[in-house]
Structures are given as structure tokens and as C-alpha cells.
Amino acid sequence: MGTKIETVTKSRTQLSRMENGAESIKEGNFLSRMALNDNKAGMEGLDRDKINKIIMDTSKGSRFYESELKREQQVNQRIEKMMLQKAQITEQQLKKAQTQVDKMVSELEKTCDLSRVIVHVDMDAFYAAVEMRDCPELKERPMAVGSMSMLSTSNYHARKYGVRAAMPGFIAKKLCPDLVIVPPNFNKYRAVSDEIREIFSDYDPHFQPMSLDEAYLDFTAHLEQRQSWPESSRTHRYRSQSLATDEKQTRLHQEAEVTDLSPVLFEDSPTSSPSLPGSGGSTGGAFEVFGTSVEEAVREMRFRIEQKTTLTASAGIAPNTMLAKVCSDKNKPNGQFRLLSTRGAVMDFIQDLPVRKICGIGKVNEKMLKALGITTCSHLQQQMALLSLLFSETSWHYFMQISLGLGSTHIPRHEERKSMSTERTFKELSKPEEQFSLCRKLCEDLAEDLKKEGLKGKTVTLKLKNVNFEVKTRAQTLPYPVATAEDVFAVAKDLLKMEIENESPQPLRLRLMGVRISAFISVDDKTPMQKSILGFLQPGKVDCGRSSQKIHQNLQKNPLSNPPVQASQPLGHLEVQNSQKPKEISLGRRPTEEEPQQSFFQRAHAKRLQLMAANSSRQDEGCRDESSMVNLALSKEDVEPSTQPRGDDCADLDFSENKSASPVQPQASTSSCRTQTEALTCPVCFKQVRTADLNVFNRHIDSCLSEAAGKPNRVSGAEFDLETEHQKSKTVHKQSREVEELPVNGEELSRSVPQEDSPKNNSVPKVLLSEHEQKPVTLQGHQSGPVLICPVCYLTQETDDLTIFNRHVDLCLNQEVLHELRGQTTLSIKPSVGKNSKDSGLHLQRHASKSKNKRTDTPSFPPSKKPKSLGVCNTIDKFFR
């Protein structure tokens, strides 16, 4: 193990030299990411090398393998950097660090609390055990729960072959051809989980579940009470054997009742020592009396779990969570381990404990530490000074706590969730329409989940993984929280669109997509929310609502693990952010007094352009010309904040996209293309503005927008005439079609020019988006009949009647336009595409509750009134960030 560094360095060199470096690197250490993770229970004494060879042989050459190779390199580089840093550390520095560390150690030691009894319970091979219980034939066989693609758990028999959780099934099959793979049944696991949690709560009503099969409990209070409990309260009977395998529900029900009664029933039982099964014989089941000690209490709990579920659990008992967790693994399966609550016992226990066993130290940290010669906790302790110089503050503080055997001594009450997401892996998805459609689906799923918990979040994050397993996330934070599929999708699709457009070479080939929402507002934040808006309106002030609150919470939460760092840093961070804000704003258009603030849409687009501009300047080959709308439309100066002194704007950036769909030659250089356009189509009134000057054009749009915003029913909460709106949008739509010289593009508007209607477009070099957005796509698959994806809403439409489909698209389009004009309001589409759809085809619906919410929960958006107090009216960003 001492030659690790050398090996690491060598591997990297070899890698950079050869494409398929796999063969040349022989064994073990290389690709530690992929190698068998044998530090879990049931994996001792395996033929590691043989198993790893099979794993490697099976994976070699796959995209996944290549991707892992790459990541491995990155880690190796990180390690190299670290080693370089280490080499530059002087004795002096080290000494100084050591005194710092010593000081801190003695302070930390003072905080050590050994008075609590923390228990970590963990079901043994949970999913697999449930399946085995319910299908006894599986008991004698190696089996795993999951699929050919991925396993969640394996039973102990399978583990002997190296088959374990997080291993793909097809590799597991190579390791163990007889392996039985059972698809997961989460509802069942959840039901069992409920059962065990019921038991947990008897010992600690505030227990913290970590997953379906795992929890931390604070036994301290229970043990105090337990000392005075009569034996009857510590007596539990065995489940009757005959009911072991069938009629679970009935049995469980009965069991629960009997268990509850048992203390009374057996109060007078003459059992001082645990009775064996059968000793209670005649009354129909044995029982067992448990003592008052910790061990007995935990054993009792495990016993009850087993009786109730026919599944076994393991447990760890220790003075804090960190240790309890390690302990629960010690005698797995079906065992428990108690670490005595004395300083000596803890330190002894810690000494030779591999760092990898500690929750929070994973593959990467293990490897980095190993590079420093640190594999056990005692090494950690010895090297603290060095670690304090090489790792971030949070990291080395954490290391230090570990090295002292410290951890949480209380079970934190379950915190509110911070994010919610949904993601999906699929074959390969390369068609933009399908990608958008999927994106919408994900947003719908997410919205459904959000609804269940009544949450609204401000940050939407799109996650993409391409077929090479490269992961990307793109996020956008809104000034107001959203929860509906429409609102989330409005953001996500923009983020997605951006990635689709920017991909080179085309197309974007996805294997996974996910949507996440975060930055929730919570019930108790609603009032602060109001305040924070006021806070925004006072320049120079930090968001007074949430952030400071959070920081405060953090401070109180764990004074041990995150001392001043958390307190000072985020605050400073916020201030900096705040003061930097104007920089971003320079991109945005300065609204005039009367005009409405920019829609999110506009801002998002401006941002996108900014990013694109940054992008194109990076890849100066201009290689994206054929695919990028931006390059066709804009010179870099148009979006570069530094070269754009005036309050120039979003709107023109936004709509400059129009030109991308216009007959611009693909070879056009970024600067030349601009002159080719002499007229621009206003996205509001849809008239052409004969100018190449974006400022002039912008002024025009400004006035249009103010006019649109001036319409009384746009601002008031009053019901408006749907029919009128509908008609109007129809008209608008029609107009947009008539103006053919310059197909409207600005975002959704681009879709207002279906291909059939604009023959010119056919001669235009296809820009990806205009292409796919104008053409309905036929999906084969699940449906029997043809399915079309609406290029506007991305909902699949089960029809092959193009007339009907077109009507849907038209109506969608109208909705989009309206939506945009009124600033993300309240209309939702109810697409009706079936044969029975009326002429109207679609009904614009006003969601009363939703619109109410919009106005009350998010008073700011759409802004009912503008903050007049601010002399300089910048973009909306300024107010809300």
C-alpha cells in the first residue's frame, strides 16, 4: 500500500498516452471506482482479484467504463495536486498547524458527551430478505433485487460471489450465473418499513429514519424508564410458527394485538431467564423476557422486529450516531454490537477502524487519504495537522471529529426537505421533440409530487446525462416559487432548449433526464417572504427573510461540526453577491416607467444568450454556426455586457432570435449576419419594424408591451372574457402567419410559423429548433395508433388527423402567446384533440385557485405594481435576488 502514489501517477501517464488504457494497467488499484466494494457485510474472504477481473472484463470498452476511466483520472489529478501541495509544506507550517489542531482537539474533547445511548438499526439485506420471506424457494439460492441493469440488494448467498448492491444485474450474472434477480416491490418494502417504524417509535418516538430499512434512535430516555418497568412490560412472545409464511396481513394484525396484551398475560410468568421457543407452549406460543440493560432493550427491539416481520435487523449501540452506525455493521447480519460509553472504549474502537467505514468517507476520500498514507482513524488523528493544510476547513474539521470518535449525540428532528426531483434513464433519446416531451412528463410527475407535499420552489434544475455518461445540470432561479407542471416546464424546457441548441456535434444524445426543484418556500416562510420582498426593495440589504434565518438555524444545529465557517462565510457570500448584482443587470433591458417588468421568459432568454455568447467566444472556431440560432442572429457585442454600455436589452436579445429563422446563410459569420436583416417582427403586435437598429426596435417593443400591460384586465384580478382573449389571440396568431418575410421566432413565437405555412423556411438552412418545432413528430411505441408530439406544449397527441393536430398546435400557440404577454399567468391548456372536439377545439381555462395563489403567495409576480421608490428601475432581477 505504500507505493500507491507512484501507481497513481503512473496510471495517469499511461492513460494520457493511450486511448484504451485499460489493458496496459494491470490490476487492483486502477479503476478503484469500478472494483468490487468489499467493505460491506458478507463480503469477507472473497476472491477479490477474480471478481474484479470479471467485473472489468464485462465492463471494458463500454461507454460507462470509459466514463469511469475519465472520472478516475480526475480523481487522480486531484490527488496529484494534493501531493504537490503536500510537498511544499514546510516543517514550520506543519508545526504551526499542529498547535492549532491541538488547541482545537482539546476544545472539541470538552464537548464530548458520552451520556447518550444512540442506536443505529439496519435491516439485513432488506429488499432481498423481504422477497425471500415471501418466496421461500429463494432462500437457498443466490438472489438479488433489481434488474439486469441495476441491483438494489443481494442476499448473503449472492454476496459470496461478489454480487452486491449497486451492481448491474448483467455483471452480477457473470459473477454468479445462477443468480436469481427479482424485480423490486417497493410498496411491499414500504409496508414492512411501516411495521418496523412502529416498533422504533416505542423506543424513541423521535427516531430518525434514514431509509426504508434504517434508522437512528436515541435510547436514552427509554432506558431510564425501562429501569422501573415490570418484567411484564419487557416480555414478548414469539410468533406462532404455523403462520410463518402465509396470510401475512392477518397474522400481523393478530400479532400486534397479542403483543400489546402480552405484558398483562405473562405478568405472573415465572420466567427469570429468557424462555426458549416452546416454553410457553400450551398457551399457544413461547415468550421471552428481556432485561433492562441497553443490550437487552435493543435485543428486544430486534426480537420484536423479527417476530413482526420475519425479518432480521442488526443494531449498533454507541454514544453517538457516527459510532452507532459503524457498530451496526459490526455484527451484521442479525447481530448487534455495543460500544461502551467510555473514552477508552471509544478510542480503542476507533484506532484500527478503516476510514472507509465511516459514513461520509466514500471512495474518493478514501483514495485521497490513502495517498497520504491514511487508512485508519488512528492515522487520521496522527495526520491532523497535515490534513488541516490540505483539506478544506469543513473537511478537516470533520476528519478531526472522526479521529476523536465524536459524532451527533442527539437525533436531529427530521428536517424539512430541501429539494425534490425526478429523473429517468432511458435508451437513447436524441430527437428534440421527444426530449421536450419527456421533459414535460418529468415536470408533470414532479408537480404531482410537489402537490402531495404542498410545496413550491423557486429553483428549477435540469439534469442531463448523455450517452457517454457525462452529467450536466442547468439551473434557473425564479423570483417566485412555482409548483405546477406548466410553470416548472416553462423553465425546464428553456434550459433544455439551450442545451439542445448548444450541443455540438448535434444532436444531443441523452440517456437520462431529470428535473429538480429546490429553494422551497415553507409555511413559516410565507411571512418572511413578504418581508424579504421589502428587503429586496431596499438596495444594499441582504435578503432578510430566509438566508439569515437559515444561517441562524445552522449555527444552532450543530455547533460542533460547523463552527464559525458556516456563520461567517455564507453571510459574506451573500453580501458579495448582492453588491455584484448590477453587473448581471447590465444585460437586461431597462424598462420604462410604464412598461411591465420583464417576464421570466425574457430574462431567461437574455441569460441564455449571455451564456451562448460566452460559449461561442470560447470555441472560437465558430463551429456552431450551422446549428446555433444565436450566432446567426447576434454579434457578440450585442450580448457582451462589457461592450454594451446602455441599458440595452433583453427584448432585443430575445427577439433577435427571429432572425435565426430568417433566410440567413449558415456560413454567416457572427458579425456579418446582422446586417442582413432590415426588418424585425415585433413579438407583441406582430408588425414588422423596418429597422436594423435594435435600440429602435426595442423602443417599439417597449411601447407595445406597455400597451399590452395597460389593458385593465391584465393587471386587476378581475375575470376577463375568455372568449375575447381567445379571439384576440387567434387574430394575433393569424397575423403572425401572414407576416412571412420574417418568421417570428422569439421563443414560442417561432412556433407560430408552422412549416407548411411558410414555404420560405424550407429553403432556409434548418436551425435545429425551428426545424423540430415546426414539424410534428410521430412517435411509434406504446400507442397503437400514431402519436404526434405538439411542438408547443410537448404533450403527445393521439391522433393522425393533421387538421385536428394543427388545431391543437394553433391553440397551444395562442395560449403561449397569451401566457407570455401576461407574464406567466393563469391560463392552462386543455387540449382536446379527439374527434369530438368542438370547433373551438380547446378551452382556455382560468384556474381560480391558482390565480389567487399567484397573487397572494407571490405578490411580486406578475407585479401588480412597480416599486416606484427605486429611482433607477432596473430589471426584475434586481428586485428579487
663-702: which residues touch DNA (CB under 7 A)? Answer: none
CB 424 within 8 A of CB 453: no
Q: What is the 3-state secondary structure (H, E, C) of 570-591?
A: HHHHHHHHHHHHHHHHCCCCCC
Q: H-helix or E-strand containing 844? A: strand 842-846
Q: Is the Cβ of residue 443 or residue 732 nearer to DNA in the bound state?
A: 443
**Interactions with DNA, residue window 466-485 (CB under 7 A):** 471-477
Q: At what angle do helices 186-203 and 126-134 cross, to 10 degrees?
A: 110
- What is the amino acid identity at position 550? K
Interacting residue with DNA among 17, 413, 418, 865 (CB under 7 A): 418
Q: Tell me the three cell numbers of residue 763.
A: 429553403
Cell numbers given for 775: 414539424
Q: Segment contacting DNA (CB under 7 A): 137-145, 148-156, 291-299, 862-870?
A: 148-156
Q: What is the CA radius of gyration of the chain?
A: 32
Query: Is residue 645 reached through a cis peptide bond, with omega within 30 degrees of 0 on the bond before it?
Result: no
Q: Which is nearer to DNA, 173 or 714 (CB)?
A: 173
CB-CB contact of 316 with 323 (8 Å): yes
- Beta carbons within 8 Å of 247's beta carbon, 6+ residues apart: none
Rounded to the nearest whole angstrom, what is the least distance from the CB of residue 418 to DNA in the complex?
4
How far is residue 42's CA from residue 778's CA, in Å, rounded to a whole number? 50
State whether the Cα torsion 551-556-561-562 is positive or negative: positive
**Interaction of residue 732 with DNA, rule CB under 7 A:** no
Instruction: Examine residue 559 and tell whether it contacts DNA (CB under 7 A).
Output: no
Q: Which is nearer to DNA, 340 or 512 (CB)?
A: 512
Residue 777 in contact with DNA, rule: CB under 7 A? no
The contact mask relative to DNA for 366-405 (x = CB under 7 A, - = no) is x------------------------xxxxx----------
Among the residue ranges 142-150, 298-306, 645-653, 671-679, the one whose residues contact DNA (CB under 7 A) = 142-150
Does 364 engage in binding with DNA (CB under 7 A)? yes
CB atoms within 10 A of CB 234: 18
Site for DNA in 319-358 (CB under 7 A): 325, 358
- The amino acid present at 728, given as its one-letter code, is K
Interface region with DNA, contact rule CB under 7 A, candidates 146-154, 292-300, 375-383, 589-597: 146-154
Q: Least separation, in Å, of the C-beta of 690 and DNA? A: 36
Site for DNA in 484-523 (CB under 7 A): 511-512, 514, 516, 518-519
Which member of 29, 73, 233, 421 binds DNA (CB under 7 A)? 421
Phi, psi dihedral angles at 623 (to 5 degrees): -70, -10
CA dist 412 and 522 (Å) reads 19
Residues 560-589 that bind DNA (CB under 7 A): 562, 573, 577
* Residues of span 271-290 touching DNA by CB under 7 A: none
Instruction: Calculate helix-pair angle for 4-17, 363-371, nearest 10 degrees.
Output: 110
Residue 93 to residue 532: CA distance in whole angstroms: 45
Query: Toward DNA, which CB reaches closer, 518 or 586?
Result: 518
List the one residue from 28, 136, 360, 834 that touches DNA (CB under 7 A): 360
Name every residue whose Cβ is closer than 8 Å to that of residue 742 and which is 6 or more positions away in sequence. Answer: 658, 659, 662, 677, 679, 680, 681, 688
Nearest approach, Cβ of residue 170 and DNA (Å): 4
Binding residue for DNA (CB under 7 A) from 296, 348, 423, 798? 423
In terms of CB distance, is 290 or 391 closer to DNA? 391
Instruction: Tell me the helices (H) and strands (E) count for the chain, helix number first.
Output: 35, 21
Distance CA 770, CA 659 (A): 11
**Candidate list 262, 365, 627, 814; residue touching DNA; CB under 7 A:** 365
Nearest partner of 110 among 388, 412, 406, judged by Cα: 406
Of residues 424, 531, 699, 760, which one binds DNA by CB under 7 A?
A: 424
Q: Measured from the CB of residue 78, what is the shortest distance to DNA in angstroms?
A: 6
The DSSP line for 446-483 is HHHHHHHHT-EEEEEEEEEEETT--EEEEEEEEEEEE-
Which C-beta is closer to DNA: that of 192 or that of 817? Answer: 192
User: Under the criterion CB under 7 A, does residue 77 sit at the interface with DNA?
Assistant: no
Rounded Cα distance between 140 and 158, Å, is: 10
**Please, which residue, 152 or 698, has the CB nearer to DNA?**
152
In the complex, the smallest distance separating the C-beta of residue 33 from DNA, rounded to whole angstroms, is 8
Minimum separation from the CB atom of position 422 to DNA (A): 4
Q: How far apart are CA 488 and CA 126, in angstroms?
A: 35
Binding to DNA by CB under 7 A, coded x per residue (else -) over 862-881, reads -------------------x
Residue 422 as a binder of DNA (CB under 7 A): the answer is yes
Question: Mask 164-203, x = binds DNA (CB under 7 A)?
Answer: -xxxx-xx-x------------------------------
Residue 312 as a binder of DNA (CB under 7 A): the answer is no
Which of 561, 644 has the CB closer to DNA? 561
Return the number of the residue (390 or 844) whose C-beta is nearest DNA.
390
Applying CB under 7 A, which part among 227-235, 363-371, 529-537, 861-869 lies near DNA? 363-371
Instruction: Enumerate the β-bridge partners of residue 146.
Output: 151
Minimal distance, residue 358 CB to DNA, in Å: 7
Cβ-based nearer residue to DNA, 103 or 417: 417
The reply to whether 55 sits near DNA by the rule CB under 7 A is yes
- Asked whether 518 and 417 are in contact (CB, 8 A), the reply is no
Task: Name the minimum Å distance from CB 244 to DNA.
Answer: 26
- Nearest approach in angstroms of CB 460 to DNA is 9
Q: Which of 278, 281, 362, 710 is close enough to bind DNA by CB under 7 A?
A: 362
Site string for DNA, 12-41 (x = CB under 7 A): ----------------------x-------
User: CB under 7 A: which stretch of 84-92, 298-306, 361-369, 750-758 binds DNA?
Assistant: 361-369
The residues facing 31 across adjacent strands are none
Q: Say which residue the cell 397569451 belongs to.
A: 818
10 Å Cβ neighbour count for 247? 10
Binding positions for DNA, 198-227, rule CB under 7 A: 210-214
The footprint of DNA on this chain (CB under 7 A) covers a number of residues equal to 73
- Tell me if 233 sits within 8 A of 263, measured CB to CB: yes
CB of 580 or CB of 780, closer to DNA: 580
Residue tagged 421461500 (cell numbers): 136
- Confirm if 354 and 39 have CB atoms less than 8 A apart: yes
Which 8-state DSSP code applies to residue 785?
S
String of b and e for 46-83 (b: at least 16 CB within 10 Å)?
Answer: beeeebbebbbebbeeeeebbbbbebbeebbeebeeeb
Q: Cα(700)–Cα(327) distance, rounded to whole angstroms?
A: 71
**Amino acid, single-letter form, for residue 223:** L
Instruction: State the minimum distance, in angstroms, from the CB of residue 290 to DNA.
Output: 27
- The interface mask with DNA, positions 425-464, x = CB under 7 A, is x-----------------------x---------x-x---
Kindly identify the residues of this chain, within the stretch 826-855, that bind DNA according to CB under 7 A. Answer: none
Cell numbers representing residue 250 in the block: 392477518
Task: Read off the amino acid at residue 130.
Answer: V
Residues numbered 96 to 135 that lie near DNA (CB under 7 A) are none
Q: Which of 419, 538, 671, 783 binds DNA (CB under 7 A)?
A: 419
Residue 240 in contact with DNA, rule: CB under 7 A: no
Cell of 315: 443494531
Angle between helices 294-309 and 186-203 (to 10 degrees): 150
Partnered with residue 460 across adjacent β-strands are 476, 517
Nearer to DNA, 31 or 298 (CB): 31
Nearer to DNA, 28 or 281 (CB): 28
